[in-house]
Amino acid sequence: MATGIRDKVAIIGMGCTRFGERWNDGAEDLMVEAFQECLADAGIEKNEIQAAWLGSCFDEVNIGKSALPASMALRLPNISVTRVENYCASGTEAFRGAVYAVASGACDIALAIGVEKLKDIGYGGLPEFSSAMGMLNQLWMANMTAPGGFAMLATGYAAKYGLDINDVKRAMAHVSMKSHANGVLNPKAHLRRAVTEEQVLNAPQIAYPLGLFDCCGVSDGSACAIVTTPEIAKSLGKKDLVSVKALQLSLSNGTEFAYKWDGAHFVTTSKASTAAYEEAGITNPREEISMMEVHDCFSITELVTMEDLHISERGQAPKDIMDGFYDLDGGVPCQVDGGLKCFGHPIGASGLRMLYEMYLQLHGRAGDRQLKDPKFGLTHNLGGFPFMNVCSVAIIGKHDA
């Protein structure tokens, strides 16, 4: 009988670059920047790392294939390095590889690093993906972009709950306004200006009904983590350990867009979060989860995700959002570091960046945005489209919690 990952692996070091339009830095510079911070935080030597995992998504316009770019940039000592790609869950996948390797006993200390260099393509938004979706899919799938794919969720959500689209938009605007407010407090965030709900609502339309401020930043960046067993962590003199409580992944199997789905929720998130709570021993997430970093690629994604994480009741996310429940001073602060919205979204790094914020908060090192005594932090990635996606949910927390 599987016992899950809870408390089998501790995070002893993390690093994260400033996210943004890093015109003067390549992926190698970003990886080294994050890695140096991480290594110093862990207090170990590079040659103590026995295996590494690299997460990146758009390899064709970024670092290219294989894990060699990480091995070479970090000059790793000829250890095993594996590149993983699973859309926007790529960073969390790299983390999962490292955590599972340690938990299995295959190695003592492992590295997970994520990186994405998106601003070398010459245009805004994510790279065009028609030529990266497979030779069959490019011949029939709708002429979609990421904002368009998620925008549809807003029309589906409004239709399911009989809501005026403008009321949904108002809650979406609050989501973005809140993340901008948090981003102001974070020196590593890409976007650091506060906005009002009115500014969000009046922004130019990108994909109906999403406006510019409903969309997250497209950024360059890297983040990484070094993990080991709690025993080794203690032997290294680490105190107040942060350990992994749950790591879950769920993927669509085609039913949403080809069989049955209400068009108003994420099948995968709903399942992965339930499994994660069980793995972490959490029975009432609304009460027990201290803080979250969710995949707010678009404001509507965050809105709907609040329900699929079983924190807001079905149909109640707009109300909780408007009540400020997810604001920095709310019941479950969400996107404490600014989120994808304002911290930015270098895809392969994002999952690790979310864990970085939870890790800082758990250690009380989050500066102006420090929350009071957090115990469990949840991170969530959603890659792909609402109707066909990869979802990861991770929970980390104080080792004794």
Partner 1 sequence: MVGITSYGGYIPRYRLSRMTVVQNMAWYFPVIMAVAGGEKSVANWDEDAVSMAVAAAYDCMTGKDRKALDSLYLASTTLPFADRLNAGIVATALNMKEAGVSNADFSACMKAGTTAAISALESIEAGKKDSVLVVASEQRRTKMATMFEMFFGDGAAALLFGKDDVIAEFKGSYSVSCDFIDHYKGSGKEFDYGWEERWQRDIGYGKIIPEAIAGFLTKTGMKIEEFDKVIYPCYFGGTHKGIAKKLGIDKEKAQNNMHAVCGDTGTAHPFVMFVAALEEAKPGDKLLLASFGQGCDVMAFEVTDKIKDFNGPIGIKGSLAKRVELASYQKFSKFRNLIAADLGIRGEANPNTSLTVLWRKRKMLLSLVGVKCKKCGTPQYPAMPICVNPDCCAINEFDEYEFADKEATILMFTGDMLSASVDPPAVYGLIGYDGGGRTMLDFTDCELNQVKVGMKTKMSFRKRYFDEMRGFTGYFWKAVPQVEGGDA
Which residues contact partner 1 (rule: CB under 8 A)?
A: 121-123, 125, 128, 130-131, 135-136, 138-145, 147-149, 151-153, 155-156, 158-159, 205-210, 253-255, 257-259, 263, 387
Closest by CA position to 145, among listed 207, 234, 80: 207
Q: How far apart are CA 154 and CA 266, in angstroms?
A: 12
> Is 334 in the active site?
no
- Given the residues 180, 295, 345, 380, the one annotated as active site: 345
Q: How far apart are CA 121 and CA 338, in angstroms?
A: 25
Residue whose CB is less far from partner 1, 1 or 259: 259
Between 2 and 139, whose beta carbon lies closer to partner 1? 139
Least distance between partner 1 and beta carbon 162 (Å): 11
Query: Which amino acid would we find at residue 299?
Result: S
Closest by CA to 53, choosing from 346, 276, 351, 398, is 351
* Shortest reach from residue 157's CB to partner 1, in Å: 9
For 362, the enclosing helix (H) or strand (E) is helix 347-362
Closest separation in Å from C-beta 156 to partner 1: 4
Q: Is the dihedral of CA 326, 327, 332, 335 positive or negative?
A: positive
> What DSSP assignment string belongs to 36-101?
HHHHHHHT--GGG--EEEEE-S-GGGTT-SSSHHHHHHTT--S-EEEEE-BTBTHHHHHHHHHHHH
Place of tokens 């003067």: 24
CB of 153 to partner 1, least distance (A): 7
Annotated catalytic residue within 16, 88, 215, 216: 88
3-state secondary structure (DSSP) of residue 150? helix
Give the nearest distance from C-beta 342 to partner 1 in angstroms. Answer: 20
Nearer to partner 1, 125 or 324 (CB): 125
Nearer to partner 1, 196 or 257 (CB): 257
Catalytic status, residue 363: no
Q: Which of 201, 219, 206, 222 is nearest to 341 (CA)?
A: 219
- For partner 1, give the closer residue by CB, 26 or 148: 148
Supply the residues annotated as catalytic. Answer: 88, 345
